[in-house]
Structures are given as structure tokens and as C-alpha cells.
Amino acid sequence: MEPIKVGIIGFGRSGCSIHASGIEKMQDRFTICAICDEIPERRTHASFPNAKQYATAEELLADKEVELVVVATYNYSHAKYAIMALDAGKHVLCEKPFGYRTDDVDAMIEAAKRNNRILQPFQQRRYEEDFQKVLEICKSGVLGKIKYVRISWPGFSRRWDWQTSRAFGGGQLYNNGPHLVDHGMELFGTEEEPEVCAFLRNSLSSGDAEDEFNITLHGKNSPQVELIISATNAFPQDRWPICGTAGTLHGGTSKLEWKYVDWSKYPERPLDTVPLEGRKYCSEKLEFITETWEPEGAADSGAGAAPAPKPVKKLYDTLFEAIRNGKPQEITPADIRRRIAVMQKAYEQNNIPFPSEK
């Protein structure tokens, strides 16, 4: 089957180091035929020497050979270029953030519908092995009803590039945050839309955008989910503390451990308001079942590190199947719209203006 011909708009860290590096290993299904970047010396790639070089997105979009456009530009322009590409008759893979407001997402979805083209959010960390295992364990029921989830990406570092400037759409919420919000919303569930409580702050970065945040999602029938990115925490933390009515899970990308009890083996404990004999506290001996998991190969990189190649490949695999074989998308624009709604509420609660197009 003929490889999908790809044009990349924005050939910086993401466009080159993530997308082109991934496509380089999938040349039986994808090939880069066009590269667009505002910096002339960034319009080439050694593995795709015949890729045409363009200075503007308009030039690349006029190239009839391009089937799929990867939008990897400054954050604030993702929705703009995605809509332009869809209206030019191209399929689109859009980097995160997948827009800043739900209105952005709605406009992209409408453009995809009217042009009968596929619009794919680049939420590849959904396929990280530790997250997939966490999801499997939570859905299995061994931990009981999940009551509390914390997803923490700690770190201690300074940044001074455009990703720290609100004018360019920078800040951790819309940079690495989409991955935490995606994981958190998967675990929160679809029964209800979450209430959002968000605190964003700038601690070490040179720009004016947030480099740390704490966001809590909660609902009447859903677990409380805490999402944390830190720029001032120099000590390692568990990435996953998850608490349920039958047990607890903790760990990270290289190892998970969980333990739980089988409540069917224990007597009922109805409320008893009579003081216990001898002023004792309630106590019972619990027998925990303990299990562990480790990835078969090298662990997926996480906690804000560069994306591991396996999740990138998995997302591109699903995109190929959608474009060439008409299979349903596994991660849909409507799905990611719910995540954008959470991030939009976080900005609005903290009175942060949304970036405007330049």
C-alpha cells in the first residue's frame, strides 16, 4: 500500500524531533514530501532529502502531493493552520494544544466535516505503557470503586524560550498539561463533566506564563483527580497514587505496584455507636493481595521528558488505518474537546487571557 505523503508545518523540536523522527522509522506507511518553516536552515531532513522546502504554510498547502499535514507551529496558531489545511483538502494531525477554547475545537471539527477529511489530535501519551496498565487495573475492579487519583510530574528547572511566553501561547498547562488532563479525564470517566478547581503560577521561568499548576477535577459520582506539574520540586515522586475502596496503586513509568483486599472474605461492619469495650479503637487484620508490573523493554519516558517512540508509533499506526482503511479513530476530536474544556476553565478561573493570533 502506498505510503501517505506528509507535509509538516513547523519544523522545530516537535516537527523534526518527534514527528519526522517517528516517520523516519515508518517509511513503509508514511513519507515526508514537504517541509515548511520560517527559518530557512530548518527546512531539510537527512532521511527525506527530496522533501520540498516552503517558507509559508500557504505554499505547502497548495502542494497537491501532500495528503496529510502535521501542524507543529507555535501553540497559538494550531487551530488556524489546522482549519487552513482541512479547507485545502488535506488530512490533519494537530499537535497539542488542540486549540485553546472549545470554540477552536468546534471550528476544526466543522472544517473536517465539510471537507470530509480526518482531523487527528496528537495525544500520543494516551498509549504510554504505564498509563495503559493503570487504566486496565482501574477498570478491572480489583481496587474497588476508584475514589482518588493523583498524577504528578515533578521537576526543578528553569526555561526561557517562547514556551514561557503567553504571547506565543506558552505555559505548562497547554504545553505538557494536555497529557495530564487527558490521562486524568480518562480516569475521571464519562458519566459527568467535572467541576474544575485550578491554581496556576509562574515560579522560575523567564516568561510570564505558568510553569507550575495544580488542578483538581471532582464530581458527584466520579473520583477526585489531582493533576500536578511542578518546576520547584527537586525530589522524585510517585507518578501514580490511586486509591479505591478495595486497594491502592502507586508507581511510575518503570514499575507499578498495587495491593487490595477481597472484601467478600470479611464480615459486614454495620454502624455500631456503642462504645467499644476497654476504650478500644476499631481494628481488623486485613490480608492484602499484592501485584506488580514492569514494562518488558525500556520504560516510556514520562514526567515531561521527550515522548517515547512507542506511543508516537502507535498513534501514527491508528492514523494510517483511519486514512487508508477507513477504520474509526481511537482518539477523536470530540474526546479531546472535553479536555480543552477543562483547560479553558483553568485559564478563566485564573483570569489569564487567551493568546491571540499574530
Q: What is the CATH number of domain 4-124+306-329?
A: 3.40.50.720
The pLDDT assigned to 306 comes to 65
* pLDDT average, residue stretch 260-280: 92
At 279, is the pLDDT very low, low, confident or very high (cuts 50, 70, 90)?
confident
The pLDDT assigned to 300 comes to 60
The pLDDT assigned to 192 comes to 96
Instruction: Please give the residue that has the higher pLDDT: either 337 or 355.
Output: 337
Joined together, the cell numbers standing for residue 310 give: 512507542
Q: Rounded mean pLDDT of the chain?
A: 94
The CA distances from residue 278 to 57, 269, 275, in Å, are 79, 19, 9
CB 308, CB 127: distance < 8 Å: no
- pLDDT surpasses 60 at 268: yes
The pLDDT assigned to 17 comes to 93
pLDDT over 90 percentage in the chain: 89
- pLDDT surpasses 80 at 35: yes
Instruction: Please give the residue that has the higher pLDDT: either 355 or 137.
Output: 137
Among the residues of 73-200, which ranges form H helices? 78-87, 102-115, 129-140, 172-175, 177-188
pLDDT in tens, 98-112: 999 999 999 999 999
Q: What is the pTM of this model?
A: 0.94
Q: What is the rounded CA–CA span in Å between residue 163 and residue 319?
A: 27
Q: Measuring CA to CA, which residue among 184, 203, 202 is closest to residue 194? A: 184
- pLDDT surpasses 90 at 53: yes
The pLDDT assigned to 305 comes to 60
pLDDT over 70 percentage in the chain: 96
The pLDDT assigned to 100 comes to 94
Q: What is the DSSP letter of 203?
A: S
The pLDDT assigned to 357 comes to 60
- pLDDT surpasses 80 at 291: yes
Joined together, the cell numbers standing for residue 195 give: 467541576
Joined together, the cell numbers standing for residue 73 give: 507551529
CB contact set of 335 (below 8 Å; sequence gap of 6+): 121
* pLDDT average, residue stretch 217-234: 97
**244 phi and psi angles, rounded to 5 deg:** -130, 175
Cell numbers 507550575: residue: 212
Domain edges within the chain = 4-124+306-329
Cell numbers 498547502: residue: 61
The pLDDT assigned to 340 comes to 97
At 335, is the pLDDT very low, low, confident or very high (cuts 50, 70, 90)?
very high
**From start to end of the chain, where are the E strands?**
4-9, 30-36, 52-54, 68-71, 91-94, 119-121, 146-153, 195-201, 212-218, 224-229, 242-244, 247-251, 256-260, 289-293
Q: What is the DSSP letter of 166?
A: G
pLDDT in tens, 294-311: 988 665 655 556 668 899
Query: Side by side, which strands form the sheet with 289-293?
Result: 195-201, 212-218, 224-229, 146-153, 242-244, 247-251, 256-260, 289-293
CB 240, CB 253: distance < 8 Å: no
The pLDDT assigned to 304 comes to 52
At 280, is the pLDDT very low, low, confident or very high (cuts 50, 70, 90)?
confident
